[in-house]
Structure 1
Amino acid sequence: MQAQTRVDVFEQIFLVFLGLGTLVGVVVIAYTLYNAYKYRDGGDETSDKARPTLGELPTGGEGGKKLFLSFGLSAIIVISLIIWTYGMLLYVEDPGDEIPDEEAIEVDVVGDGFAWFFEYENGAESTNTMTVPEDTAVWVNVTGGDVWHSFGITDLRVKADAIPGETDRTWFMTGEAGDTHEIECFELCGDGHTQMVGTVDVVSEEEYEEFLEEEAPDDDENGDDEEADDENGDENGDDETDEENGDDEENGDDEENGDDEENGDDEEADDTEDGGDD
């Protein structure tokens, strides 16, 4: 059995209130018209003790039994209605086991700068368009980025405050693939309030998986960049090594040249000494 949606719950509440309101209205109006006709001016005078008297409060007839009965029935109806409605609203706040976690998805929502930003479970992101799979429960975690906003989807009976530093969590059920719903801001947030709108696109499960793959962060590119950095680092290290080797070779040549010059100077000194002896 499929879980009730928020739309189902609020429609039930509306229909119950409408039905009871109509019933009470019919009874009250009918009873009023009956008494107006029964005690009309010019009618037959009767000795009815329940006959209302101008300027006096009605006794309710028969010692107030009718009055007590009407108030008692009204209290029972109103209290029962309050208890039933409160239980239905608790379900709207948290459906509990009716919607298992493994069958639902989560979307983080941020209202910022008169736009709506969405982040999905795999890190995919979108702006002003929330893409969701068909016949699925969607939990939304709503917050604000700059000022107070209010995330709302009228068609799905969704409303959650978007307040900076706080997170409001709510849910809704998607319908058939191809359905679209308008996202609005229900909080007067600034000059661009009326333009702060978006769209909920309901797609098939296959299209949703493709969307997540296309919009997911590309980890491969980051990995390639790191590999490229490592290669550049290795090349730079090789260049530095080559330069150092080059310096060593130059130093070696200089040292050899220096030794040759010293040897030449020694030979000249020996020739000079030999010439003086001669």
Structure 2
Amino acid sequence: MIDSLILQQGSDWRAQAEVFDEIFFVFLALGTLIGTIVVAYTLWNVYKYRDDGGEPKEGFDAPEVGELPTGQGGPKAKKLFLSFGLSAIVVISLVVYAYGILLYVEDGPDADEDNIEIVVEGYQYGWDYEYPNGHTETGELVVPADTRIDISVTSRDVWHNFGSSELRIKSDAIPGDTNTNWFSVSSEEVQAQGGEATFTVECFELCGPGHSAMEGQITVIPQDEWETWYEGTDGDSSNVEGGASVDGAASVNAAAIGGVSA
């Protein structure tokens, strides 16, 4: 947890997926621990103060429905304020922890000259990716490992939403507007997938009858392999199978005449 608050830089940049997985684990672990303690304490009190049919002990101050602690230092008041204090500490700690780490997700690691800025443009029903050298890809986004990838997301026709559940990224694609986001994939993840990591891209905004076919792919390869690939692009364009093609979109729209309009 301390490492996540420090938010390491350089080669130790943390992918958004790793950050969200950590937040989920922290909340799950603490929730399970606190839930176990509360349930165990409740069951212990149920057993301790059960009605055994006998006379209550002398001086026993039985609780009554709707009764509030008097605040005069009695045992009931002490238990209330102790539980309130502990709960406040836990909740405030989680808020500070989650807010600090979500700031990292919002802003990303510090930008440097090695970052890659890519324009993502959605259309019915696919994705175009434009690299800094002017090269464009359709359907597949090829990026290097251990690098911050900055994406500027927009649309040429209707509202879309560019995202990948596996990478925990999601951005609205709105005509005439641009939304920014970032992601990164570690070389360890690339090696774990056999030297080339792939992640599915989907549209998360209902955009027409071909919405369900609007898929793409993010391919992550080692840095040296990507540099060789990038040097060979030389600003040309490439169409990769994924989602509906432009002609396919026209076919879908034609089929939609008299039905659901895009």
TM bracket, shorter-chain basis: 0.7 to 0.9
Q: Quick one: distance in 1 between partners of 2:63 and 2:76?
A: 14
Deviation at 1:213, TM superposition (A): 3.9
Q: Quick one: distance in 2 between partners of 1:146 and 1:87?
A: 37
Residue 145 (structure 1) aligns with: 156
Are 2:211 and 1:189 equivalent residues in the alignment?
A: no
Deviation at 1:43, TM superposition (A): 5.7
1:161-180 alignment to 2 at 5 Å?
161-175=172-186, 176=190, 177-180=195-198
Aligned residues: 215
Whichever of the two has the greater Rg, that structure is 1
Q: Tell me the alpha carbon deviations over residues 17-46 of structure 1, each in whole angstroms, 9 at most, x when there is no partner.
A: 111111210111011101110111216532
Where structure 2 has 5 or more consecutive residues not aligned to the other structure, the ranges are 1-10, 237-262
Q: Which stretch of structure 1 is more off in the superposition, 60-69 or 103-112?
A: 60-69
Contact map agreement 2:15 2:184 (CA 8 A) in 1:
yes
Which has the larger share of helix?
1
The one-letter amino acid paired with 2:199 is: H
Contact map agreement 2:124 2:208 (CA 8 A) in 1:
no
> 1:171 and 1:50, CA in 2 relative to 1: closer, same or farther beyond 3 A?
farther
Give percent identity, aligned residues only: 48
Q: Which stretch of structure 1 is more off in the superposition, 180-189 or 62-71?
A: 62-71
Residue 8 (structure 2) aligns with: none
1:100-179 alignment to 2 at 5 Å?
100-175=111-186, 176=190, 177-179=195-197
1:1-278 alignment to 2 at 5 Å?
2-42=12-52, 45-47=56-58, 49-53=60-64, 55-57=65-67, 59=69, 62-97=75-110, 100-175=111-186, 176=190, 177-217=195-235
Contact map agreement 1:114 1:192 (CA 8 A) in 2:
yes
Give the CA RMSD over aligned residues. Answer: 2.0
Q: Quick one: distance in 2 between partners of 1:121 and 1:48?
A: 80
Deviation at 1:127, TM superposition (A): 0.6
SS of structure 2 residue aligned to 1:189: coil
Contact map agreement 1:50 1:59 (CA 8 A) in 2:
no
Structure number with greater CO (CA < 8 Å, separation at least 6) is 2
Contact map agreement 1:138 1:174 (CA 8 A) in 2:
no
> 1:34 and 1:93, CA in 2 relative to 1: closer, same or farther beyond 3 A?
same
Q: Quick one: distance in 1 between partners of 2:145 and 2:109?
A: 21
The one-letter amino acid paired with 1:138 is: I
The one-letter amino acid paired with 2:172 is: D
The one-letter amino acid paired with 2:221 is: V
After TM superposition, the score normalised by the length of structure 2 is: 0.75
SS of structure 2 residue aligned to 1:161: strand
Where structure 1 has 5 or more consecutive residues not aligned to the other structure, the ranges are 219-278
After TM superposition, the score normalised by the length of structure 1 is: 0.71
